[in-house]
Structure 1
Amino acid sequence: MSPADPVLDREDLRTRVQKALDDVLARQAAALEDVSVDLAPLVEAATALLSGGKRLRPAFCYWGWRGAGGADGTGIVQAAAALELFQAAALVHDDVMDGSDTRRGMPAAHRRLAALHRGNAWVGSADRFGEAGAILLGDLFLSWSDEVLVASGLGDEELRRGRATFDLMRTQLMGGQYLDMLEQARAATDGSSVERARRVIRFKSAKYSVEHPLVLGGSLAGAGPEQLAAYSAYGLPLGEAFQLRDDVLGVFGDPAETGKPAGDDLREGKRTVLVAMALEQASPAQAAAVQRHLGDPHLDAHGVAVLREVLVDTGALARVEALIEELTARAHAALDGTALEHDARTVLTGLVGAATARSV
């Protein structure tokens, strides 16, 4: 688990969410063991991925519930934990699509399973085996997220109120993932667009990271249209700021904190807002450097340094930092105009900082 945070650890929430996830994994491990002991590596990969983290999505869900008058209880913690399982599905599939080597400082699931194949000298492609296994693991996480929400212990009426948001969140994330692939595929012919890059992060990350969890919690608690609209007005800009910060850390962050090699996002060729803003202002020489190095799977420290220099010298880094400040100000303003239970207001205000911190 990441270091203690007074905001994220209110109501002992992260510990309770981890306990809920551990219980899920124990039940599912038993179910998979009934199929075959050979499924143990899938369980081990799942356990490694769910072993810690900030638990931002459960926090937004839980405090969205509390802010709408919901009482603390096991049911809402279980429902919030379902979001971590959904997040895990998205991460495993995203790592396959991006060809990522690591996740949270450990081998990505598809790399882990490929190493298992190689270590046993099995027949066929180790990489294909790893990718196929990771896709199945992601599908398991997706299935488990639904199971956990339904079996959370919340009442039928509460679940009915939240179902539409939960389903919309899953559909829009998949759409955002496709847009992300599309943006990278057509960048060579269509160029990069800041607006297209922002649309990708809204649907691939921003909505399911903050807005949808918050609205889900509020909906489960019976929040009215006005409060849910206020949650969206807070959650969407904050979610976008959260992803912009993640993009900055993906290029300039400390690998010891991010859990990924330096410049990994550049190596994967991600067409982020940061990159799009740089290309808007790039000289021909700078644009050529981006074209030459971005997406190079063998990008070395020198190539990373060249791209970082372009991102700084074109003003892209400064523009993204300014945009993060603008978006967080919008989130604070939306919260200020919303009627909330006192503790929820305090935590949601603190979560703005937790989601956009300059380190992980």
Structure 2
Amino acid sequence: MTESSPVPTKTRKPPSQADVAALAGVSSQTVSRVANNRSNVDEATRQRVLSAMQLLGYQPNSAARALATGRFGMIGVISFSLSAHGNSRTLQAISEVARISGYSVNLVGPEVATGGAMEQAVTKLTNQGVDGIILIEAQILDHPNRNLPHGVPLVIADGDPDQRHPSVDNNQAAGAEAATAHLLGLGHRTVHHLAGPQDSHSARRRAAAWFDTLKRAGAPVPPVLYGDWSAESGYRLGRRLAADPEVTAVFVANDHMALGLVKALHEAGRRVPHDVSVVGFDDVAESAFFLPPLTTVHQDFEQVGRLCVSLLLEQIADTGHRERRVQAVVTPELVVRESTAPPPVPQSR
């Protein structure tokens, strides 16, 4: 028996533009237009081409596309708090819409929100070639040494208080007003507030709306307690609220702190909602499974992400480089569950 020589394996060639065109039933020119994110392709055809690209594993040549169109097909995203519930959901929506639109996402997540970190993140993204940047962190806008990019399209998620850049935000004030008015409408004399950190743009707006709603109603305004968004801080501060028999309603600036508050109330023997009503903010996936299920303000972070990409792509496509200051606002919704009820009836002596 003679020893057989090994059969050489053929190296599989990567899929070509022609392969995508054949699978999608379009011309190579159409595939090129989709790969370069041109607008002169109807949506049904675009989706068919994108599906064919995904099925074949086709990757457009970004260098060639940049030379041909002046674009890199890349969106940069900066976030200083990727673990935050809203930020992670916004980022997920940005990634999904960017992919559908033919863009990749380059994420930079500095650990510390400082002006220097912001400048380094912008420099890193622009050096790597991005067509625009989405900033998912309004807190950095309060930093005196912040340095936002110039000459590259920019959209801010979480709102821009100075309105100097296009931004998308949930209407924090409307959500906080709805939560506070709901508790007052149930008959509570006043509403206590467990706020987020004082350096948080979102927390300040929620606290301000809570304050304004109480003032308009002629209700007493209790002192604000400041947490750090964590359930632990909600529990720690909740023990102080639970010890005060005058507390019958609490608006909490996020659901995680509300969870800690509910635990503190339970340990103090104060029932939710029979003795104390609690409203949260965010509507995290677990809030419907709290005990009791939490009344909260639902924020549509996915819509914020979608609108961010839409506004950014409009800027990228605007070859006239007109300055845009679009401020898009998403309206939150109060979700009433089982953690709120009318105040307890005073016991007769």
Q: TM-score range by the shorter chain?
A: under 0.3
- Structure with the bigger percentage of strand: 2
- Greater RCO, 1 or 2 (C-alpha within 8 Å, sep 6+): 1
